[in-house]
Structure 1
Amino acid sequence: MNNPTLLAASGAQPTASAHAAAATSSSPPLPLAGLHLPEAPGIWPLAWGWWALFAIIILVIIIAFFTWRKYKKNRRAKRAALRLLTNMCQREANPNKKVALANDLLRQACLAYYPRGMLASLHGNAWYKFLDQQAAETSTSSSFSANQTEWQQALYQKQPISDALATGLIQQVEQWVEGTLPPSKKQLKAANLVFKPTAETETMDSTVSKARVVKTTTVAKTEKLSANQDANADQQDADFEPLESATLKRKEPKDDV
C-alpha cells in the first residue's frame, strides 16, 4: 500500500501552504494610509446651555443697573435736603430763623415724596403727628409732638431761643430726614389713610386761595413800599437756596401710591 515512489515525490515537492507563505513574504506591502484620530471638539459653536447662562447674566446686570438707578433717584431729594440743612446751619446766625428755615426745608423734602394735597392740609399739631407717625417704624427721631412747645416757641414767638434749643430742634429734623426718607409703600399707604384731606379741608383751601388773590390786589401798594426794607432779608434768604433746592421740587407722579 505504501508506494515508495509516491512517498519520495511528495517529500521532494513543497506543500501549497509553504508556497503561499513564501509568496506573501516576498510581495511588497499594500499602499494603505495611516490611521488618523479625530480632532478634539472645540468650544464653538456653543451649546444651548451656555447661551442660556449668558442670557441670565445679562438680565441680572440690567435689573441690577435699573434697581441702583431707581435707588439713587429716590434718595436724590434726601441728599439735597441734608446738604441744604448743613449749609443753612453754617450761614445763619439767628437761632429762631435757623429753626424756621429747618422746618420749611423739612416740609419741602416731604413734598418730594408725599402727595401735595395731603401735606397742604397739615399744620400745627397735625403736622407734628404726621412726622411722628411716619417715623414710628424707624424710631430714629424724637417725638415732634412731645417737643411741640419748643417748636411753637421757636417758630412763632419773637423772644429769641437759646442756641442749644435751636441745635436740638435742627438735629431732630436731620434725624427724621435721614431715618424716614424715602418712605416705603407701607408708610405712604398708612399716611394716605390717616391724613387724607377731607372735602371740608379742600373747600377751605380753595376759599383761602381766593382770599389771597383779593389780598394781593388790595395790598399791592403796601408791598411796594416795604420792598426796599425787606430787600436785605430776602437776599439773605436767597443764600440758603443753592442749586440743590431744585431737586426738592416735587414732580407729581402719574399714580400716587
Structure 2
Amino acid sequence: MSTATSLPLRDVHLPPYPSWWPLPLGWWLVLGVLALIVLALWAWRALRRRRERRWLQLFDTTVEGAAPGTAQVAAIAELLRRAARRRQAGAELLQGQAWLEFLDAPGSRAFSDGDGRLLLDGAYRPTLAPDEVDRLRSLARARFLTLISGRAR
C-alpha cells in the first residue's frame, strides 16, 4: 500500500478550448457571403448614382441648349413630360391644373401654387424674368430626377 501513495498522481486536465484562429470553414463561408452582399449593394448604389448624374446632365444640357427665357421653359416642360411618361402611362397627356398637381411632390404644392405655375403659360409669354426661369429650373430639375428614377413619389 505504500507504493500506491508514493505515485505522483495529477488531477484530470481538460483539453484546451479551440482557438478562434484559423476560422472554421463555416465562418469563412459566412464572411464570404456578407462580403458579396456588401459588394453588390455598393455596386448597385454606384450604378444608381452614375445613372442619376447622366439624367441630370441630360436635363442641364437640354435646358442650357435652349435660348434663354421662353425656350428654356418649353425645354423644361418637354423633359418633365418625358419623365412623367416613364413614371405613369398617359401622364404626359395631362393639361392645366391636373398636370401641375401630378408634378407636385407629396406634401408640396410647389408646382400648383408656387414657381411651377410658370409651366402653364411661361412658354407663351413675350418676356420672362431670368430669376423666374432659374427658380423653375431648380424646382423642375429635382422633380425630373425623382420622376425618371422611379423613386417614391
TM-score relative to the length of structure 2:
0.66
Partner of 2:58: 84
**Matched AA of 1:160:** T
Q: 1:76 to 1:102 in 2, by over 3 A?
A: farther
Secondary structure in structure 1 of the residue aligned to 2:149: coil
After superposition, what is the alpha-carbon deviation per residue over 1:28-66, rounded to whole angstroms, capped at 9, x for unaligned? xxxxxxxxxxxxxxx9xx97x521121112111222232
| Counterparts of 2:36 and 2:142, CA distance in 1 | 34
- Residue 92 of structure 1 contacts residue 98 of structure 1 at CA under 8 Å; is this kept in 2? yes
Matched, 1:123 2:95: yes
Q: 1:173 aligns with which of 140, 143, 148?
A: 140
- Residue 70 of structure 2 contacts residue 122 of structure 2 at CA under 8 Å; is this kept in 1? yes
Q: 1:104 to 1:72 in 2, by over 3 A?
A: farther
**Matched AA of 2:24:** W
Shift of 1:154: 0.9
Partner of 1:55: 29
Shift of 1:76: 4.8
- Residue 70 of structure 2 contacts residue 127 of structure 2 at CA under 8 Å; is this kept in 1? yes
Matched, 1:136 2:80: no
| Counterparts of 2:31 and 2:85, CA distance in 1 | 38
Secondary structure in structure 2 of the residue aligned to 1:108: helix
TM-score relative to the length of structure 1:
0.43
Q: 2:149 aligns with which of 174, 179, 182?
A: 182
Larger-Rg structure: 1
Q: Name the count of aligned residue pairs.
A: 133
Percent identical residues: 20
- Residue 81 of structure 1 contacts residue 105 of structure 1 at CA under 8 Å; is this kept in 2? no
Q: Report the aligned-residue RMSD.
A: 3.1
| Counterparts of 2:84 and 2:52, CA distance in 1 | 9
- Residue 78 of structure 1 contacts residue 109 of structure 1 at CA under 8 Å; is this kept in 2? no
**Matched AA of 2:97:** N
**Matched AA of 1:128:** L
Partner of 1:107: 81
Higher relative contact order (CA 8 A, sep 6+): 1
Partner of 1:24: none
Q: Show structure 1 runs of 5+ residues with no match.
A: 1-42, 189-257
Q: 1:172 to 1:65 in 2, by over 3 A?
A: same
- Residue 78 of structure 1 contacts residue 178 of structure 1 at CA under 8 Å; is this kept in 2? yes
Secondary structure in structure 2 of the residue aligned to 1:159: coil
Secondary structure in structure 1 of the residue aligned to 2:131: helix
